Amino acid sequence: MIVACSARTKESADTMTASKCATKEQSDMVIPPFNADSAFSFVKAQVDLGARVPGTESHQRCAEYLARELRRHGADSIINQHAIVTAFNGDRLPIVNIMGRFNLDANRRVLLLAHWDTRPWAECDLNPAMRDKPIPGANDGASGVGVLLEIARNIGKYHPAIGIDILFVDAEDYGTSDGDHSTDSWALGTQYWVKNMPYTGGQYPSYGILLDMVGGKNALFHREQFSDYFAKNIVDKVWQNAAKTGNSNRFINQPGGGVTDDHFFIATQAGIPCIDIIENLNPSTQSFNPTWHTHADNIDNIDPATLKAVGEVVLFTIYNEK
């Protein structure tokens, strides 16, 4: 995504109980509690594979892992969208966008997505000798995927009334860092996906929610600018649900800066209203966690409480859809 470097209680999955949805129309719908330990394990599993840079062995192993997990959690179909894309520097990248679809017969669908690749260099690292090495990507990549895998696990047990498409997009983080910050150099996997969407008959998702960097310590989430512009009603809904779930201390209902992220291309090129839940420290500039694009973006700097807050809000949102 485009920014500058300077801008910058436990529960057992086996014993969880489900709470009833508060709305009259869905009085028989259960909203499963989000298990932070489970989400953290999904984040760690990705990091343990190594940096997930397109074209590497770790990248291939992670693609297999993600598809396997979606299948294990009951996705009705798995779509592996392979392609070759060209990066800003001429690198030819073998990518794969991975989508698990749940409840295929549902007329109303919601798209949940995160990027799963990692930055091939660490231009913001304090150690110049480390800047040309790929980052671990625990927060920037693995955290959003980990939350969505835990959501997939819940969907497999407690079926929401709507269809859910969980999309893991590739090559988001291969953009230029030379100050040019060309919009099109980022989110290459998503740019390919919007030109080759696996939907027929115009039955697109009603809206999308992107999760990016949702595992940082003491993370805060303001209303991202492009999200408010293209899908204000969805931002309103999600931030209201944050208050209902007791997470308004994390989801700050105030304007934040704009980020050219995967949601930007889904909104502008696919025509699907899409919002970005993304950490920021300074709402006026959308500056990120200090670990951003450094080798400190590792598993030690992932906070299960942050994963839980985001997961609870997204689960509450999708289980309250009619």
Range of the domain at 283: 23-319
Q: Is 118 part of any domain?
A: yes
Query: Measured between alpha carbons, how far is 279 from 288 in angstroms, rounded to an integer?
Result: 6
Q: Is 65 part of any domain?
A: yes
What's the pLDDT at 253? Answer: 96
Does the pLDDT value for residue 80 go beyond 70?
A: yes
pLDDT digits (tens, 9 = 90+) for 134-148: 999 999 999 999 999
Q: Is 6 part of any domain?
A: no
What's the pLDDT at 10? Answer: 31
State the pLDDT confidence band at 171, using cuts at 50, 70 and 90.
very high
Q: What six digits make up the tokens of 78?
A: 């798995």
Does the pLDDT value for residue 12 go beyond 50?
A: no
pTM: 0.92
SS3 of 204, please?
coil
Query: Measured between alpha carbons, how far is 178 from 173 in angstroms, rounded to an integer?
Result: 14
Q: Is 5 part of any domain?
A: no
What's the pLDDT at 246? Answer: 97
Domain at 66, CATH number: 3.40.630.10
What's the pLDDT at 177? Answer: 79
**Cα 139–Cα 141–Cα 142 angle in degrees, nearest 5:** 70
Q: Is 264 part of any domain?
A: yes
Mean pLDDT of the region 64-73: 98
Does the pLDDT value for residue 218 go beyond 60?
A: yes
Mean pLDDT of the region 283-307: 91
pLDDT cut 90: percent of the chain above it: 83
Q: Is 4 part of any domain?
A: no
Query: Measured between alpha carbons, how far is 73 from 108 in angstroms, rounded to an integer?
Result: 21
Q: Is 155 part of any domain?
A: yes
Q: How many domains does the chain have?
A: 1
Mean pLDDT of the region 171-175: 97
Question: Residue 107 burial (CB < 10 Å; 0-12/13-18/19+)?
Answer: exposed
- φ/ψ of 20, rounded to 5, equals -75, 140
Q: Is 312 part of any domain?
A: yes
Whether residue 231 contacts residue 273, with contact meaning beta carbons closer than 8 Å, is answered with yes
pLDDT digits (tens, 9 = 90+) for 14-47: 333 444 443 334 445 678 999 999 999 999 999 9
